[in-house]
Amino acid sequence: MSTEYFVGIDVSKDTLDVCVYPTQDTFRVPNSPDGVDELIKRLKPIQPRLVVFEATGGYETLAVSSLSAAGLPVVVVNPRQIRDFAKSIGRLAKTDVIDAGVIAHFASAVRPELRPLKDTASQELTERVTRRRQIVDMIVAETNRLKAATRRNQRDIQAHIRWLQKRQTQIDDEIKRNIKNSPLWRTTDEILQSAPGVGIGTSSMLISGVAELGQLNNKKISCLIGVAPLNRDSGRYKGRRTIWGGRAQVRAVLYMSALSAIQYNPVIRQFYQRLRDAGKCFKVAIVACMRKLLIILNAMVRNQTKWRDCENNP
């Protein structure tokens, strides 16, 4: 029986620390095009079952895309999963080499599901959507500062807000052009924005950040984004259901979309009011609305149906 190899790669700005499980062979290469080429040459002969990276905010992009293009089975996982796994097996010490070993062990024990990686166009769209979100956050922060600022500072803050709003408009135009240039994205965008409460920000985030939209069932898509209530029961104890994990950036725009939908979307408005009348607090009601809106959008994309066609049968 041939041995299955699992590779864990700990990523830093300058280096990639690699561990092969179960042999525990370790080595380090530079996090550069030449280093990644060397990594591919060393991994190809052993034909690993999985190559697992931690998400590091972008430092893993070069290696992940290159290994995937070379035909290696690459998965990027949430760092919290790795740390929780390390604690569960008693590996509390933390160095780059130890982390690579833990990731490789995690790959062998958990075997995370392979998912399609983003192509270059999707990565670029994600970057623009993320930048748009950052600018919106800065506008909110400056608007809050304006309330307590002196007259002189108010002029400066107002000028900065106008510049940020202009930049947001420019990025919105870039995002719209990118979506328009892709027939698939354009169709999905038209479907999503047909729902009251969903604008360019939510639509572009779902297109760039949720490639699984329309492909998963209601429960899986809710868990993926992090709007599914999770049980906290033990014996006779019945804990309060809470949401946990998921894709925080997507959840943030979905929250704002749900707030808008409560005002302008008759289905979500009625659902929200029914929950509030039943005594549910605001947080519980808004998360439920986020989940319902996501499920509706997921069904619309799956069925390629716009809102006006399904308004009477949500």
Rounded Cα gap, residues 221 and 219, in angstroms = 6
- Domain 6-110: which topology? Nucleotidyltransferase; domain 5 (3.30.420)
Give the whole-angstrom CA distance, residue 47 versus residue 32: 22
Predicted confidence (pLDDT) at residue 89 exceeds the cutoff of 90: no
Cα distances (angstroms) measured from residue 115 to each of 58, 73, 75, 118, 211:
18, 9, 7, 9, 10
Task: Retrieve residue 189's tokens.
Answer: 């965008």
DSSP 44: G
Mean pLDDT of 246-274: 90
Q: What is the pLDDT of residue 271?
A: 94
Domain boundaries, the chain: 6-110, 120-181, 183-314
- pLDDT digits 0-9 by tens, 100-145: 999 999 999 989 888 766 667 777 888 888 898 899 999 999 999 9
Report the pLDDT averaged over residues 233-252: 72
Q: Are 144 and 260 in contact (CB under 8 A)?
A: no
- pLDDT of residue 310 exceeding 60: no
pLDDT of residue 314: 46
pTM for the predicted model, two decimal places: 0.70
Section 263-287 average pLDDT? 92
